[in-house]
Chains A and B, each alone.
Chain A
């Protein structure tokens, strides 16, 4: 039964992948696709035809980025939800999105090139979560989870205020539209080079989640129970937060903030395979990749201009989430 679910998820991902590669504003021939793929793998050189460039350097990286972003956000969301024992938690609960947003917006204000904006977004996301964690560690004697979440809310609000301040200082004709667009998320500008940096970072974040999947699952029983089973709760929690934050910050740096995926997809995964983290993590990542592909394909085929991804995920995600709530089935534990 469970393996059937995984098989179905893989099938859905492959179908979404095929559609995502086939659909786009630039018409492609089969030869473009084959040559473009061969070139992307390094089997061909010489001057490529425009169609090959579209397939190999535009659509392929974009589709790969979509899968990476979706899988990373959903995986991080699954880790956070298990860690906080709460299905309403998303990867930005500790302020990673607002921090990354502030970093990116500062980069736009300083007129940095794209790589600089992405770098600042990445650093901003990591720094914000580190700050939240330090605040929570300093406030001993309170409920750890509560202090972490409240710290995330406070620091996130601060970052939001700083973003508004930057908006006032920005050039209204040049920088302000970009500052408005960035937090809405897009894969329109992703290049192969971005993936070469981002994919290893996501992988580094994923390794501890996979290696310690049993112990992370034990965390969902509660701190005391986990301690009784011999888990160093404090260290493990820090490691999971660091890993999930690394995954989120690195994809948010190239895609901008894309809401709902990290909240909704782990939820669905839990409905499909149950709350066991070692099964939920791969299911969430597969589902997240497939969902992101569907959303991004929609985003670039709805109109000639891009529809920001954050808008689409919210429009698709909000009603679905309400439906989940209305069904009222207990899917936790």
Chain B
């Protein structure tokens, strides 16, 4: 009986292997995107266009040499961290099928082999992708941009663009980061989890609700986002300072320099535990945002940063060297100590000298 089972198992393995070989031989360059659309790509993909800012980060990380344009060009303070050949590429705008700023004729003139977007894969976006692909004839791939799908999405894209090795290295880094966080935090009970409030806007009263793409890395890094969604849809919302006081967060993360510079002078904010304990941190934004802006693989360093802020005992590594390695691996930039100081301004405990 046992022998019989084993026999069957071997037979099945062989069949699967044969099927795989057959399918790759028949359609060497037909790939399936995250919505199940089957798309034919040229054998050699050399010119790739990112449809939006999230895709642009992924493309820059995986295959900067194949990039032909930016949806929005790097800003002056970001340029120094971006490869010289790439940072001067033209800005062509967004081409996601809705609210586009890119002109289709200009895009056609740039002759991309493939366009891809990285983000939501709902039926709406799938049909929008088809609407771009049909008249232009340029293959348009949709890649799932959800945080928990990052490694699989990177590998899928790496295969499609012909940069499988590079994609594998980046995907491994993401997996290792996530595994490290899970391992080190598995014994931390819910009662000991950091309670985090994300402050946006100069007045600090715009936030992202739990589960929103703007705050999901807080939760993934082992924190609790105090802005519970309740029955609202996850997304950006305005809240009152009274509600922030009632939530009593022990850590505030902001990315607004005005709020970071001004909250200390506000008596109302002084009553928030996080402010009282001097645990307000400015999220780095260079060369791409660490927690959002855009919500793409640039957020992977944000995971380590937030986990380190919330659980310094579990993450004793210096965030400076972690950030340096990340920027070298992802963006191929060597950062000096001075540059690191600028990137990490306000992002470390006690960094403000107060």
Distance of A58 Cα from B243 Cα, bound (Å)? 10
A232 within 8 A of B: no
Query: Cβ of A58 and Cβ of B268 under 8 Å apart?
Result: yes
Query: Cβ of B255 and Cβ of A304 under 8 Å apart?
Result: no
A 289-313 binary contact with B (CB < 8 Å = 1; else 0): 0000000000010011110100000
Q: Identify which of residues 1-59 in chain A touch chain B, using a CB-to-CB cut-off of 8 Å.
A: 24-27, 48, 50, 53-54, 57-59
Query: Cβ of A25 and Cβ of B271 under 8 Å apart?
Result: no
Residue numbers in A under 8 Å from B255 (CB-CB): 174
Cβ contact of B206, chosen from A24, A27, A58, A181, cutoff 8 A: A181
Interface 9-residue window, one of B40-48, B121-129, B178-186, B228-236: B228-236
Distance of A24 Cα from B239 Cα, bound (Å)? 12
Q: By CB atoms of chain B within 10 A, which of A53, A181, A191, A305 has the most?
A: A305
| Closest Cβ–Cβ distance, residue B81 to chain A (whole Å) | 18
| Closest Cβ–Cβ distance, residue A298 to chain B (whole Å) | 13
Query: Cβ of B206 and Cβ of A177 under 8 Å apart?
Result: yes
| Closest Cβ–Cβ distance, residue B94 to chain A (whole Å) | 9
Known contacts A173-B294, A303-B232; decide if A58 and B245 are in contact (CB<8 Å).
Answer: yes
Query: Cβ of B202 and Cβ of A24 under 8 Å apart?
Result: no
A138 within 8 A of B: no
B240 within 8 A of A: yes
Q: Identify which of residues 187-206 in chain B touch chain A, using a CB-to-CB cut-off of 8 Å.
A: 200-203, 205-206
| Closest Cβ–Cβ distance, residue B2 to chain A (whole Å) | 58
Interface SS of chain B: helix, strand, loop or mixed? loop
Query: Cβ of B268 and Cβ of A53 under 8 Å apart?
Result: yes
| Closest Cβ–Cβ distance, residue A312 to chain B (whole Å) | 13
Nearest-CB residue, chain B, relative to A306:
B238
Cβ contact of B237, chosen from A114, A171, A306, cutoff 8 A: A306
| Closest Cβ–Cβ distance, residue A65 to chain B (whole Å) | 12
Query: Cβ of A305 and Cβ of B239 under 8 Å apart?
Result: yes
Query: Cβ of B262 and Cβ of A26 under 8 Å apart?
Result: no
Q: Identify which of residues 300-353 in chain B touch chain A, using a CB-to-CB cut-off of 8 Å.
A: none
Residue numbers in B under 8 Å from A230 (CB-CB): none
Nearest-CB residue, chain A, relative to B214:
A173
Cβ contact of A168, chosen from B101, B203, B266, B293, cutoff 8 A: B101
Distance of A303 Cα from B201 Cα, bound (Å)? 21
B165 within 8 A of A: no
Nearest-CB residue, chain A, relative to B262:
A113
Cβ contact of A305, chosen from B227, B241, B246, B268, cutoff 8 A: B227
Interface size class of B (residues with CB under 8 A): 35 or more
Q: By CB atoms of chain B within 10 A, which of A26, A303, A304 has the most?
A: A304
Query: Cβ of A177 and Cβ of B268 under 8 Å apart?
Result: no
Query: Cβ of A173 and Cβ of B293 under 8 Å apart?
Result: yes
Interface SS of chain A: helix, strand, loop or mixed? loop
Residue numbers in B under 8 Å from A102 (CB-CB): none
B242 within 8 A of A: yes
Known contacts A26-B245, A53-B268, A188-B241; decide if A177 and B236 are in contact (CB<8 Å).
Answer: yes
Residue numbers in B under 8 Å from A177 (CB-CB): 200, 206, 236
B135 within 8 A of A: no
B53 within 8 A of A: yes
Query: Cβ of A26 and Cβ of B246 under 8 Å apart?
Result: yes
Nearest-CB residue, chain A, relative to B207:
A305
A86 within 8 A of B: no
Query: Cβ of A58 and Cβ of B238 under 8 Å apart?
Result: no
Residue numbers in A under 8 Å from B266 (CB-CB): 191
Query: Cβ of B237 and Cβ of A188 under 8 Å apart?
Result: no
| Closest Cβ–Cβ distance, residue A63 to chain B (whole Å) | 11
Nearest-CB residue, chain A, relative to B71:
A172
Known contacts A58-B245, A111-B258, A181-B206; decide if A304 and B239 are in contact (CB<8 Å).
Answer: yes
| Closest Cβ–Cβ distance, residue B64 to chain A (whole Å) | 22
Residue numbers in B under 8 Å from A111 (CB-CB): 258
A147 within 8 A of B: no
Query: Cβ of A306 and Cβ of B239 under 8 Å apart?
Result: yes
Q: List 15 A-B contacts (CB under 8 A).
A: A48-B267, A53-B268, A53-B271, A54-B242, A58-B240, A58-B242, A113-B262, A171-B293, A173-B292, A173-B293, A178-B200, A188-B240, A188-B241, A189-B205, A300-B243
Residues in A lying within 8 Å of B, measured CB to CB: 24-27, 48, 50, 53-54, 57-59, 62, 111-114, 117, 168, 171-174, 177-178, 181, 186, 188-189, 191, 300, 303-306, 308
